[in-house]
Amino acid sequence: MNQERITLLKKYIEETPLDPFPHYALALELWEIDPLETEKLFSRLLQDFKNYLPTYYMAGLFFSELQKKERAMEIFEKGIQVAQETHNKKTEEEIRAALSDLQYG
């Protein structure tokens, strides 16, 4: 954990609340130390920044790690849809692989 980085990310969120990246970066930073806050951050990203594609892969992994398989599958499926809509084939393939691992792995 890097408290200085966490403080800086929170400041960025206050200064630019409509930028999804600081929310995303903070979720990743808090993943291991504050899962409840990470869940809130990912949920907010998925609700308020629906086209921020990086969220879908990492949020799906996060919820999978929490043994919330159905939620993770929903996130991966939505991520595939967003990747298709934004013509991001590489990310679509990565999310499809993660979904497949969750379903069959």
Q: What is the pLDDT of residues 16-34, one digit of tens each?
A: 999 999 999 999 999 999 9
User: At 2, is the pLDDT very low, low, confident or very high (cuts 50, 70, 90)?
Assistant: confident
45 and 55 Cβ atoms separated by less than 8 Å: yes
Q: How far apart are the first and last CA of the chain?
A: 30
pLDDT at position 100 is 96
Residue 57 lies in a domain: yes
d(CA 65, CA 31): 10
Residue 73 lies in a domain: yes
Residue 72 lies in a domain: yes
Residue 12 lies in a domain: yes
Residue 1 lies in a domain: no
Residue 3 lies in a domain: no
User: At 1, is the pLDDT very low, low, confident or very high (cuts 50, 70, 90)?
Assistant: low
User: At 105, is the pLDDT very low, low, confident or very high (cuts 50, 70, 90)?
Assistant: confident
Enumerate residues 6+ apart whose C-beta is below 8 A from 48: 20
At residue 9, φ and ψ (nearest 5 deg) are -65, -40
pLDDT in tens, 41-96: 999 999 999 999 999 999 999 999 999 999 999 999 999 999 999 999 999 999 99
CATH of the domain at 65: 1.25.40.10
Residue 2 lies in a domain: no
For the whole model, what pTM was predicted?
0.92
Count how many domains the chain has: 1
The domain in which residue 76 lies consists of 8-104
Residue 21 lies in a domain: yes
